[in-house]
Amino acid sequence: MTDTSSLSAPPALVVRIAVPMRRLARFLAIAFETWSGSFGITVLAIIVLVAALSPWIAPYDPIANHFNQAGQLKRLEPPSAAHWLGTTYYGLDVLSQMIDGTRIVLVVGITCAFFIAIIGTNVGLVAGYYGGRIDAALMRITGLAFGIPFIPFAVVLVALLGPSLWNMILTISLLMWRTTARVIRSQVLSVRERGFVKAAKIAGASDLRIIYVHIFPNVLPMTLLYVAFDIAWAVLAEASISFLGFGDPNQVSWGQMLYLAYVSGSIRQAWWWTIPPGLGLSLFVIAVFLVGRQYEKLASPRLR
């Protein structure tokens, strides 16, 4: 850490903001180092922007039915000037649904990844640090989590709790922490043997302090990396659960769009309804992977 207090000129407040901003800029710049990384982060930025501005840029209310001159429902209309991506079997505007769907993507992705990170990292930290019986117990629970096939379990849980967005997030977080836990634990196992940890122990630091002040910052890059990938997995999980018909009926999600398309027998002809949601999901996940790959090199330098 540079000791900025010894520099002469800039006032402290400016420095306090400028230095972290510059670091943030440099951190973000890593994503732009390759074509793939730049593509990825651009896609993510677009999705975030669309989600933020969705109430204003969606041409119609996503759940409003549309009728034609004769008062008939505009069912399964191919793309036209009025409906750029056509309409669904139920007369809804596909484009508006696509725009609205970006919100779920981000909400689910980020919230789940957040919970997964918290649960997984803490389980990994505690198990890896204490070892012995605590480790064995925690690993048994993790093993249980690994043994449970995800989608079947999610289906059961959502049936049990009811198909709401929160239940979805809960369900996903409840199982997905398992990979993060294992990875963090093995990292902790090697970090805890390092000199500075032993030194802290000898100096009398409490376990809690050692775990969170000394060990955690060293596994943080790995945690963040997995957080990134978890966002993608969580979004795919939500889409899958919604596709099976267990999604929140009050929200518009891309997975659910595909469910309705499939269940109404429309996949045969309504390509304008089936391609965009899947494409959107795919682009999002690819973008997350590409950006994640850029930062992978930070977390484990050997990969060069």
Partner 1 sequence: MEFLGFAARRTVHTAVTLVLLLVFMFVLFRLIPGDPTTLLLGTGELTLEAQQRLRAQWGLDQSLFEQLLAYCRNLISGELGLSFYYRRPVTEVIGPMLINTVILMLPILVLAIGLGIVIGTWLGWRRGERVEELGAVLVLIPRALPVFWTGIVLLSLFAYKLQWFPIGGIREAFFYPEAWYQNLPYYDVLQHLVLPVATGVLASMADPLMIMRTSLIEVRDEEFMVLARARGLSTRSLQRLARRSALLPVLTYSAVMVGFAFGGQVLLEVVFTWPGMGRLMVNSVTQRDYPVAQAAFFLMASVVVVLNLIVDLLYGWLDPRIRHD
User: Residue 207: which of 118, 116, 128 has the closest Cα?
Assistant: 128
Nearer CB in complex with partner 1: 66/185: 185
Give the tokens for residue 276.
């965009």
Q: Which is nearer to partner 1, 114 or 271 (CB)?
A: 271
Residues in the interface with partner 1 (CB under 8 A) total 43
Q: How far is the CB of 162 from partner 1 (least distance, A)?
A: 9
- Residue 19 near partner 1 by CB under 8 A: no
Stretch that binds partner 1, among 10-18, 53-61, 90-98, 261-269 (CB under 8 A): 261-269
User: At closest approach, how far in Å is the CB of 241 from partner 1?
Assistant: 10
Instruction: Give yes or no for residue 186 binding partner 1 (CB under 8 A).
Output: no
> In this complex, which beta carbon is closest to partner 1, that of residue 162 or of residue 217?
162
Q: Is residue 93 a contact partner of residue 60, using CB atoms and an 8 Å limit?
A: yes
The answer to whether 170 contacts partner 1 (rule: CB under 8 A) is no
Closer CB to partner 1, 37 or 91, in the complex? 37
Q: Does 157 bind partner 1 (CB under 8 A)?
A: yes
- Rule CB under 8 A: say whether 132 interacts with partner 1: no
201 to 240: interface string for partner 1, x by CB under 8 A = -------------------------------x---x--xx
DSSP string, the chain: ---GGG--SS-HHHHHHHHHHHHHHHHHHGGGGSHHHHHHHHHHHHHHHHHHHHHHH-SS-TT---B-TTS-B-TTPPP-SS-TT-B-TTS-BHHHHHHHHHHHHHHHHHHHHHHHHHHHHHHHHHHHHH-HHHHHHHHHHHHHHHHS-HHHHHHHHHHHH-S-HHHHHHHHHHHHHHHHHHHHHHHHHHHTTSHHHHHHHHTT--HHHIIIIIIHHHHHHHHHHHHHHHHHHHHHHHHHHIIIIIS-TTS--HHHHHHHHHHTTGGGT-HHHHHHHHHHHHHHHHHHHHHHHHHHHHH-GGG-
Q: Which is nearer to partner 1, 206 or 282 (CB)?
A: 282
Told to check if 153 binds partner 1 by CB under 8 A, we report: yes
Pick from 234, 277, 291, 299: which binds partner 1 (CB under 8 A)?
A: 277
CB of 262 to partner 1, least distance (A): 7
Binding site for partner 1 (CB under 8 A): 36, 140, 143-144, 146-153, 155-157, 159-160, 232, 236, 239-240, 243-245, 255, 258, 261-262, 267-269, 271, 274-275, 277-278, 281-282, 285-286, 289-290, 303
